[in-house]
Structure 1
Amino acid sequence: MTDPRMHDTSADVRKLYDVAQTFDPDVAEHVQALTDILDEYASILAKSDGARRQLGDSPDPPLWPTLRRLWDITSEAHADPDQDDIPRLINLSISLARFTRNLVAAAPFNQERAFDNERAIRRLIYHYTSFNATQDPATFAATRMLSQALSNIVTGNDTLTQTLWTTYLNLPEEQLVLPRLFASPDARTVSSAFVLVLNCIHDSVHRAELLTTSPRGPRICLTMLDRMASLFEAEESTEEGRAFDIGYEVFKRVIEAGLVAGLYIRLAVHQEVITPHQTTLLKLIDSYLHGSQRAHELALSRRPGADRSSLFDVLTETFLALSSYTQNAIQHSLASGDPTPARSENHRVSPDAQEQSDASPPLQNLDLLLPKVCEALVLVTECLTTVALRAEEAATDAGRPRISSAIETSANTSVSGQPSPKDLLVAATASSGQGLVESLVETLRLVDVFVPRITYGKLVKRPPPPGSEASPGGQQTNDQQQGHEAIFGQKGDGGDPVEDARKAQVAQAFAHVKRDLVRLLGILASQNRAVQDRVRVCGGIPVVMNLCVVDDYNPYLREHAIFTLRNLLFENVENQAVVDAIKPVGRWDEEKVLRDIRGGV
């Protein structure tokens, strides 16, 4: 229904036309008169579809040349403004953008004609996202309103959206406005930018794919991921939280379109095992897979085309790369600077290396990237675990009988006859030749050696074993002693509260690694004789037994380790014999400290 004040549309357009004909942005009275008219009509347009149609269809005088003139004048006035003119220009931009935003909302006819002003709007967005402008909070409303006007001009209009999106993803680097919008310190502006991107890729796999294949697409993804990383801890009810939710919807579309594997690869940096942007993307992937009952289908699907890796392929390759890096980094630190330390068959550091460590703790040899690598390793492991479990749940729901007492020597296949996620993981091999199962075990062993165990807020001090004999029941081996020294730069537990807090902080940097790795190992070992045997051969059973403990930074580690041990021993006499041969050499006292029972310590 048309607003009563819009009964004579031609007169209203004439009023705006007359003001525009003599408009001078340097004259305060002119700006005030124009913004009053724009704000009045903007309020009416926001409430009335009929008013939008009537104003857009006005024949005499037509609205659109007048609107084009106002946008051009406003854009030119921002080229080199005086400091005193800035507040007036901000108000002008806000009023003009609000009027345009409301005029084109859900009005295709108006959108087509308003699109002629896109270039002027883009120039103003570029101006208000400059460094100097973003230092003044008064500019935020203008930037936000301009973004919303641009979004409304193309929303729901496939032709205009395609034109805008193609243009914005092919602009020269110095003219890109989307990265500048995402860098805004104003959360509401960031929300508006995410809405614009979301509207552009909505219901269009092709436009979503341009984010990974166009010249500037990955650059825009980098800025979006940067902003998402800064919003992870935001409360849901805040502007920052709402911006995160909209940004998540953008990447959800990319994931569901099967494009995230390609994007992850495009975000790689030569000779870097993981980048911060890849880690942020892994967090989003992990969140999506965790909430999807069809995670396995999406992860295993491949887009048409040659050499298109599935998400599961990329996750598996990333896991192998991250675990290999983790192993090498820890071994290098434990070797006191010697990248190839002498190691016995049961993987202990030689006495010479131990003496070198005692003399000079190798703190300088610590890989500062290792905590970030382990953070990404946890995310990848959780993704793989989710996919494997979802596939098993789907197979069970489809009526496939579970395997009974007869354990197969190879992993089960999916209902479709294709290899299941567990099949693929068990068969996966790193470029070094190390199988994924063996990689899991070795990474677990080294992380347990390297990272101190914090129980109920206290560092667990494990007594050194006699000589160099194995101590699978939880005793601290030479490796463990040296690993703790490498981290803390000193021996023992001095009881210093400050030092204890620092130790806990270090342990926190490797949170959840042990828990998630041993959980995945347990899933792979479930009813799989081949995996059970491979774990035994590479010495993994004592490693799992050592993890049957409480660890503050690995919640439910003990429960997952016990479950994994159960799966390794199930109907496997050889594995059971390994456990039977291990004799306890210590006991946990009431303070959760392992005491050597042989010497009564």
Structure 2
Amino acid sequence: MTSIKSLTLQLQQQFLADRSTASIPLFSECLEKCATQVIRDPSLRSELGSYTPFWQQTCQCLDNLRDELAQDQDDETIRALLVDNLRLARNIVANDAINQATAVASGISSHIENMLAWCLLENIPENRPVTRMGVQALCNMVTGNPKQQSILWTVWMNDSGYSALFTKMLLTSDHVTLMSTLVLMLNCIRNDSDRCRMLIESQTGKVILNCLLKNAELVLDDQNTQNFELIFAIFEQLVENGLFSKAFKRFESNGGAALTSNQTILLKLYDSALHRHQSRISLNQSDEKLLIITLRDTCALAVEALRKLPNVSTSALGSGDSSVEKNVTEPSASSDDQDNVRMTVEDTANAYTGVILLLQMIGTVTVDSRSSGELKNVLISSGCLKACLDLLAQAERKIPRITKSMGDIVSDTDTSKGSMGFMYIKRDIVRLIGALTYHDRRIQDEVRELGGIGLVLSQCNIDDANPYVKEHAVLAMRNLLENNLENQAIVEQLSPQESVPHPVLEEIGLKTELRDGQVNIKR
């Protein structure tokens, strides 16, 4: 035996046998020296790490030190000794499969977990070095070792008692502990569909996902850590293993009607994943159907939110497009139905954000040809295309066009200002229609039958609340009319219905009037 190994084991035994006679400074010094040497000396690391009594004694030391620290939380000597024991354990198992297996078999992970639970429950800032070292030790026990990952991850996911521990680890204010926890989780699920599925399906996994989603927005702008990137990497593993739909459904509201905040965050992460990996990630049919159904239902919620606002000046949809009036109409609702609808500010904000994200995602995969052949079938059969056109019609009634001359534009997420909180709705619906109708006669006809041609044509105006909506509308009209005589006939029959005042002209004292089918300008 090497001298440092013998001394370490001897001091452990002395500490456990009689605390009063043990030399704490010597024990601490020995642990620090040994933790440094095992990094440089593989033979020492192998000798000590594969020696089961070492792990058994370390487990006892951790328990005793935790108990002593609980009795006297100001004892920095005990706290330092606890960190020294954890550091040695962490270094011994680093990149050594045999040592990792011996450590896990000894049950030291449960002793570390108990220590972490106590430290995080007390939430004492001085305990942060202990929690950091404890999580890092757990992380090193599974890094690069699928067998040990499977053993520990299965225990954690199948025992609901671990929900509280992971909640504390993930919601800690210490960004280093959080980072180590995220690395631990990523190591366990990376490239393993079974462990990813455990994260989605287990009760502990749902708690973990909830914490991750809360953290995602909190750490997004933190430039000092990589915590958001780690959360995103965990989410990417779920997407790449086809588990987005299951994760999304786990956070449905009780009624299942409105988008929840967690679902909105999931959509944001999914949208980012699609843009970051344009050539690798495609929507599977399960995800496509889920997103389309969600878009349909969320459009209905957005329509409900807009319906309560006053109408703006009617746009000239054109008398020839009778199907506009027939098919795209303001939804009617009885007074009883209206009384039953209670959309909160959060519901409205989630509906707005959800619609925009869903329109952009479906539009993106359609343009990039990453969608399956079933996407358009589901869009039509589910009523999603009709719901989008209904929303566009409602937005046309309720949301005024904005030009910069009208003053500063409010924030695009400010739903407290009524219709002004629904910026980009028109643009993104028109963009999606343009993508769907490209060289697709069936969708061209469907839009016509749903009364959408006049709606799209009416978007050929500058609107600073919907940047580039005019350009998207022109492209959509081109795709709608291409080789489609029926659609072309609809446009030919259109005629202006009224003159709508324009704020830019009004500012310089000019007015518009409709005379004999022609728009004239006068002072």
**Shared fold (TM-score, shorter chain, > 0.5):** yes
Structure 1 residues 423, 498: CA separation in 2 closer, same or farther (over 3 Å shift)? closer
Equivalent residue number for residue 63 of structure 2:
72
Equivalent residue number for residue 267 of structure 1:
251
Equivalent residue number for residue 385 of structure 2:
437
Partners of 1:294 and 1:390 within 8 A in 2: no
Bigger share in helix: 2
Structure 1 residues 68, 346: CA separation in 2 closer, same or farther (over 3 Å shift)? closer
Q: Secondary structure at the match of 1:560?
A: helix
Task: Report 1:408-423 matches (<5 A).
Answer: 419-423=373-377
Q: Secondary structure at the match of 2:158?
A: coil
Q: Secondary structure at the match of 2:203?
A: coil
Task: Report 1:46-65 matches (<5 A).
Answer: 46-57=39-50, 63-65=54-56
* Distance (Å, rounded) in 1 between the aligned partners of 2:20 and 2:303: 69
Paired residue type of 1:274? L
Partners of 1:56 and 1:110 within 8 A in 2: yes
Task: Report 1:335-484 matches (<5 A).
Answer: 367-368=344-345, 369-391=347-369, 419-425=373-379, 427-429=380-382, 435-456=383-404, 458=406
Greater RCO (Cα-Cα under 8 Å, separation 6 or more): 2
Partners of 1:75 and 1:124 within 8 A in 2: yes
How many pairs align? Answer: 488
Equivalent residue number for residue 542 of structure 1:
454
Asked whether 1:198 is paired with 2:198, we answer: no
Shift of 1:188: 1.9
Provide, for residues 101-128 of structure 1, a one-character-per-residue CA deviation record: whole Å limited to 9, x for no partner.
Answer: 1110011221122222111100111122
Equivalent residue number for residue 234 of structure 2:
250
Equivalent residue number for residue 334 of structure 2:
none
* Distance (Å, rounded) in 2 between the aligned partners of 1:295 and 1:63: 47
Equivalent residue number for residue 15 of structure 1:
7
Partners of 2:309 and 2:419 within 8 A in 1: no
* Distance (Å, rounded) in 1 between the aligned partners of 2:167 and 2:227: 15
Equivalent residue number for residue 6 of structure 1:
none
Structure 1 residues 518, 223: CA separation in 2 closer, same or farther (over 3 Å shift)? same
Partners of 2:167 and 2:208 within 8 A in 1: yes
* Distance (Å, rounded) in 2 between the aligned partners of 1:98 and 1:312: 47
Structure 1 residues 344, 388: CA separation in 2 closer, same or farther (over 3 Å shift)? closer
Asked whether 1:124 is paired with 2:115, we answer: yes
Asked whether 1:147 is paired with 2:130, we answer: no
Residue among 86, 102, 107 paired with 2:96: 107
- CA-based RMSD of the aligned residues comes to 3.6
Asked whether 1:582 is paired with 2:495, we answer: yes
Residue among 63, 72, 75 paired with 1:82: 72
Shift of 1:592: 8.9
Asked whether 1:320 is paired with 2:296, we answer: yes
* Distance (Å, rounded) in 2 between the aligned partners of 1:162 and 1:187: 26
Task: Report 1:87-236 matches (<5 A).
Answer: 87-115=76-104, 116-130=107-121, 132-133=122-123, 136-173=124-161, 176-235=164-223
Q: TM-score, normalized by length of structure 2? A: 0.82
Segments of structure 2 that go 5 or more residues without pairing to the other structure are 312-323, 332-338, 515-520
Structure 1 residues 202, 589: CA separation in 2 closer, same or farther (over 3 Å shift)? closer
Shift of 1:164: 0.8
Structure 1 residues 428, 75: CA separation in 2 closer, same or farther (over 3 Å shift)? farther
Shift of 1:206: 0.8
How many percent identity over aligned positions?
26
Equivalent residue number for residue 33 of structure 2:
40
Q: Secondary structure at the match of 1:247?
A: helix
Shift of 1:299: 1.6
Q: Secondary structure at the match of 1:45?
A: helix
Segments of structure 1 that go 5 or more residues without pairing to the other structure are 1-8, 302-309, 336-342, 351-361, 395-413, 430-434, 461-496
* Distance (Å, rounded) in 1 between the aligned partners of 2:415 and 2:352: 17
Paired residue type of 2:176? R
Residue among 291, 303, 312 paired with 2:276: 291
